[in-house]
Amino acid sequence: MSEHDVVQYAVEDGIGIITINNPPVNALGAGVSEGIIASVDKAEADPAVRALVMIGAGRSFIAGADIRRFGTKREQPARRSYDALEQCSKPVVAAIHGFALGGGLENALCCTWRIAVPSAKVGLPEVLIGVIPGGGGTQRLPRLIGAKAALEMIVSGRHVPAPEAETLGIIDAVVETKDLRATAIAFAKTKAGAGLRRISDQPPAAAEAGMFEAQRKAIARKARGQPAPFAAIAAVEAACNLPCAEGLVEERRLFGTLENSAEARALRYAFFAEREVTKLPQLPKETAAVEVKTAAVVGAGTMGGGIAMSFADSGLPVKLMDATQEALDRGMERIRANYAVSVKRGSLTQAEMDKRLGLIEPVEGYEAIADCDAVIEAVFEQMAVKQEVFAKLDSVMKPGALLFTNSSALDIDKIAESTKRPEAVAGTHFFAPANVMKLFEVVEGSKTAPATLAAGMKLGRAIGKVSAYAGNCDGFVANRSRIPFGLEQNLMVEEGARPEQIDRVMVAFGYPMGPFAVNDLSGLDVNYMTRKRRAAADPNYRKWPVADRIVEMGRKGQKTGAGWYRYEPGDRTPHPDPVVDQIAREVAAELGIEQKVFTDEEILHRLLFASLNEACKILAEGKALRASDIDVMWLNGFGFPRYRGGLMFWADEIGAEAVYNQVAAWHQRYGARWAPAPLLREIAEAGGKFREAKAPTLR
């Protein structure tokens, strides 16, 4: 595209109008900056033009830079659009709708005035892709709204609604209008000849003593391993200590150190992977996704309550059903308690809590949900229980209703057999806690209709989740790929590794919690039942005797005060427990396993290579569409550190050949469970990338 395609310039009644037209979101791709500069130059050369308006066509102002250009070799222009806008001798009004993010807001900050519709959002979210603002945002925003407010925005990367942006001083006026263009032109006329306001002319921003050091300490744990948030702090600090011109040079230097860092490359990959995961190329092009306007959840337990909260958190009404009033009351009380914690923390207001609670309607009996467009079953993870629920749903739900199961592993086809409408049945697997975790696995059964699958994907997005496709198999994609991780985690304990060492290794890798601490938080009895089911079905199933004995002793995790760790009353801090070490020694002796000392690297690679090998099998079977989809699942379902890209991306950083050689060596040592997947061997022999692997149907 040329600058003439993506930026148009016109003059209307003495006002020059610069229109960014680079769909879908008016990103600052090739030609956009050049088009803005050319438009400003035309206005400067035309004495009839008294002021300018810059506005976006379509659904946004400018939603940011074209991220695909990051990390590529590109010429640095002698003059940038920021410079042209700020140095213009005539007032420029930025008229904002949709998003003004990253370079979009930075261009707006170089305009003389900024107006926005109420629904608009602004922000500098560059830290979320491993860099910092590179168009002056770290220098101009602190000068405009103060160092403290700017620091919070830039380090968090959050999107700020227009009314709040007006309060902060980013936006000069929030305008209620159906015709932003006309309103902006009228506003520009009132500012013609009224003088210029250049943020870069303002002195360095003032900062409270110790503010920057306090911010570094505040993010130290959450941002470990990520240089971008700390670089953002350094850049804002420069805005408080240097003239703007020198601060801009420092900003560009810091940006340059980050752009090609391992973390930035991983975060950019994750950004695009989460957009690719929404695409289901196997669906016929004419498939229309039904919009779910009324929904119900069957089962008011911990998972069902969390699912209901996901609907309410997105502003969607939902009915919550259980078999008895007592169960409903317990479920609603749990939901109230969860919201109350958010209110106490200050992340939710009481008014917002009351509004969300009002969207959850507790009902008793299947007849109360019969007219809903979709129902999500969230009862106990046993096939017979789920089949009974689906038979009842089939008998009462209206024609065309979608029947979804929140099963985490069970056969979707067997569940669908309990109905006379298997085409309307699919899996919609939430991850615990359902109201927090973003992953929403949509599972296709052998008879699931394309429209049902499309509706499931759309529903997940509607409630703020990341919808990802999975084929029907035991554990689907996410949990199936995670099973070997859990197995090796437990077997290493038999072999002499201690739970606290394994947890320490994974936290150092970037996980927010270690796997044993997570198990205790979730409850050890859930996986215990799953293991029993798998052991009954497979005579070769490798049991987890240490984990089983812990549960059989009544140690089910935090809820019982003991699991892999012990817990003091009212305290969730895990304390290593000699009882667990004793159980591990006893099991090792019974199995004839000689215990040893593990290196941290061996622990890390045993856990992740095992799952990588399984992921290659899943892809080869077509149960996942793309390797990047598996990465999205690990990022959003298991807390895999985002700045490492995902399981497949991370393995590529080690190299396919090195991974294969280690898996092959462990195959020789540990036996069949480590047999290299054919796809793993194929990628290694070809010198390929795991992240580029696809299902056979997409190759």
Domain spans of the chain? 3-260, 295-476, 496-597
Look-up: residue for tokens 């009974």? Answer: 388
381: which 2 tokens?
């993870």
Convert the pLDDT of each residue in 250-260 to its tens digit: 999 999 999 99
**Which is catalytic among the residues 3, 34, 86, 126?**
126
Tell me what pLDDT residue 314 has: 96
Q: Is the peptide bond before 24 cis (omega within 30 degrees of 0)?
A: yes
pLDDT averaged per 10 residues, the chain (length 699): 75 98 93 96 97 97 90 79 96 98 98 98 97 97 97 97 98 97 98 91 93 95 91 98 97 96 96 97 90 95 96 97 94 96 94 97 95 96 95 97 96 98 98 94 98 97 97 96 96 97 97 94 86 87 94 95 95 95 97 96 98 98 98 96 97 98 98 97 98 93
| 246 belongs to the catalytic site | no
| Number of neighbours of residue 241 by Cβ within 10 angstroms | 12
Sign of CA dihedral 307, 313, 318, 320: positive
Q: Count H helices and E strands in the chain, helices first.
A: 29, 19
Write down the CATH superfamily of domain 3-260.
2-enoyl-CoA Hydratase; Chain A, domain 1 (3.90.226.10)
C-alpha to C-alpha distance for 537 and 15, rounded to whole angstroms: 75
Judge whether 251 and 173 are in contact, CB under 8 Å.
no
Tell me which long-range contacts 694-698 makes (C-beta under 8 A, separation of at least 24): 694/619, 694/625, 694/626, 694/627, 695/619, 695/620, 695/622, 695/623, 695/624, 695/625, 695/626, 696/620, 696/622, 697/282, 697/622, 697/625, 698/281, 698/625, 698/626
pTM of the model: 0.92
Per-residue CA distances from 272 to 7, 265, 566, 593, 631 (Å):
25, 11, 41, 45, 11
Convert the pLDDT of each residue in 457-478 to its tens digit: 999 999 999 999 999 999 999 9
Give the helix ranges, DSSP H, for 554-655: 578-591, 600-620, 627-637, 647-654
C-alpha to C-alpha distance for 54 and 94, rounded to whole angstroms: 5
Pick the CATH number of 295-476 from 3.50.50.60, 3.40.50.720, 3.30.950.10, 3.40.50.12780: 3.40.50.720
| Spatial CA neighbour of 104 closest among 182, 159, 179 | 159
| Number of neighbours of residue 1 by Cβ within 10 angstroms | 13
C-alpha to C-alpha distance for 260 and 273, rounded to whole angstroms: 18
At position 600, the amino acid (one-letter code) is: D
Per-residue CA distances from 49 to 46, 57, 96, 188, 695 (Å):
6, 21, 21, 11, 57
Name the DSSP class of 204. P
Supply φ then ψ for residue 545, to 5 degrees: -60, -35
What is the SS3 assignment for 359? Answer: helix
At position 427, the amino acid (one-letter code) is: G
Tell me what pLDDT residue 570 has: 87
**Which is catalytic among the residues 34, 86, 106, 166?**
106
| 126 belongs to the catalytic site | yes
Q: Is the peptide bond before 574 cis (omega within 30 degrees of 0)?
A: no
**Residue 551 CB partners (closer than 8 Å, separation 6+):** 524, 525, 528
Sheet with 173-174, edge to edge strand ranges: 7-12, 15-20, 51-56, 92-96, 113-116, 173-174
Whether 3-260 shares its CATH topology with 295-476 is answered no
Supply φ then ψ for residue 446, to 5 degrees: -65, -25
| Spatial CA neighbour of 93 closest among 123, 55, 40, 122 | 55
CATH number assigned to the domain covering 496-597: 1.10.1040.50
Judge whether 231 and 257 are in contact, CB under 8 Å.
yes
Sign of CA dihedral 218, 221, 226, 227: positive
Look-up: residue for tokens 């010429």? Answer: 75
The Cβ-side half-sphere exposure at 100, using a 13 Å CA radius, reads 31
